[in-house]
């Protein structure tokens, strides 16, 4: 019977009544093959059950989760299955489409896998096998690479987090630089804010496209990050956002650049390179961006 830990398999489709016509918000659709059926789950469907109702004795020490699904281009982080006790997250199999990663939470541990294939369009099958000291994941019956294994004392609940917060908790970047933002004055800062970060932006106002922005973390490892816009290198002909950054005694100039392909023979091209050259004479400069220079050899200076 579903939920009986002595059984070989627990059919979660049956446990959550996805195959019942009276289950609201679930639609029967074509599966991965002609004779297969699948269940499209609406955004407002509540698929939460008490853990004891599914596993009366709690999660078994060894188990495997097998699922076939079509995410249909989903971009938000989502969990195929998540088990939580009254006090903590016990297990979760979570997909991060933006970073192309699979995250397995088990007890207080977190295991992360790289996987591009599972986020491609169409149907995919995943196996996640859990033992006392091993997490094994296969996508479409092919093993995938383990990126890291860590033990976290912060057993945060994914259901309480926004998409941005999930990604930030995993990667914890100090800076996020984005080019070709396509932002304009009708898009306010509040619409694109990320909690825990300060936003700096430079929009292209004279025509569509372009634009750059930088998010700076408020702090890094309990150390405050100080940043302010440096206008001395600003030029309206160049899409470059310059920040003076200080982390304790470390000071540097951070610049995010978008250089359109049309810059190759323009005056803007000279302005950009002159500004970078002048800035590097007085500062430690970190340059990030899209330069549209496919023939550049970045290692040339080291070979000299």
**What are the CA-CA distances from residue 185 to residues 125, 177, 182, 211 (Å)?**
44, 19, 10, 12
131-140, 218-227, 261-270: range with lowest mean pLDDT: 261-270
- What is d(CA 46, CA 25) in angstroms, rounded to the nearest whole number? 9
- State how beta strands 63-69 and 124-130 pair: antiparallel
**What is the tens place of the pLDDT at every residue in 99-125?**
889 999 887 788 888 888 888 888 888
In the chain, what is the greatest distance between 2 CA atoms, to the nearest angstrom?
A: 74
- What is d(CA 67, CA 69) in angstroms, rounded to the nearest whole number? 6
Which domains, from first to last, does the chain contain? Answer: 59-171 (2.60.120.200), 175-303 (3.60.10.10)
**What is the tens place of the pLDDT at every residue in 41-83?**
877 777 788 877 777 777 777 888 888 888 888 888 888 888 8
Q: Say if residues 210 and 260 touch (Cβ distance below 8 Å).
A: yes
> What predicted TM-score, i.e. pTM, was given to this entire model?
0.46
**What is the tens place of the pLDDT at every residue in 256-302?**
999 887 766 577 788 888 988 898 898 899 999 988 877 766 654 44
E strands, the chain, are 26-30, 37-41, 63-69, 78-84, 89-96, 101-106, 109-114, 124-130, 135-139, 142-143, 146-151, 175-179, 197-202, 212-217, 219-220, 223-229, 239-247, 250-258, 285-290
């Amino acid at each position: 019977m579903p939920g009986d830990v002595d059984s070989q398999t627990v059919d979660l489709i049956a446990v959550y009544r996805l195959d019942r016509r009276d289950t609201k918000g679930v639609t029967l659709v074509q599966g991965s093959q002609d004779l297969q059926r699948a269940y499209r789950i609406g955004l407002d469907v509540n698929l939460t059950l008490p853990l004891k109702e599914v596993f009366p004795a709690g999660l078994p020490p060894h188990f495997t989760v097998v699922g076939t699904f079509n995410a249909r281009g989903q971009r938000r982080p989502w969990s195929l299955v998540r088990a939580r006790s009254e006090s903590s997250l016990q297990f979760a199999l979570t997909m991060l489409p933006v970073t192309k990663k699979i995250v397995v939470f088990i007890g207080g541990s977190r295991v992360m896998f790289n996987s591009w294939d599972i986020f491609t369009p169409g149907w995919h099958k995943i196996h996640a096998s859990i033992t006392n000291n091993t997490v094994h994941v296969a996508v479409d019956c092919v093993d995938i690479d383990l990126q890291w294994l860590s033990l976290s004392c912060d057993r945060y609940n994914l259901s309480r987090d926004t998409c941005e917060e999930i990604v930030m908790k995993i990667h914890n970047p100090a800076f996020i630089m984005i080019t070709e933002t396509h932002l304009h004055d009708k898009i306010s800062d509040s619409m694109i804010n990320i909690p825990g970060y300060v936003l700096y932006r430079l929009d292209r106002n004279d025509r569509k496209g372009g634009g750059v922005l930088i998010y700076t973390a408020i702090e890094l490892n309990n150390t405050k990050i100080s940043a302010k816009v440096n206008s001395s290198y600003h030029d309206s002909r160049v899409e470059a956002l310059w920040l003076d950054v200080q982390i304790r005694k470390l000071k540097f100039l951070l610049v995010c650049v978008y250089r359109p392909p049309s810059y190759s023979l323009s005056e803007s091209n000279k302005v950009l390179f002159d500004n970078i050259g002048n800035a590097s004479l007085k500062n430690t400069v970190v340059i990030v961006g899209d330069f549209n220079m496919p023939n550049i050899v970045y290692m040339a200076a080291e070979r000299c």
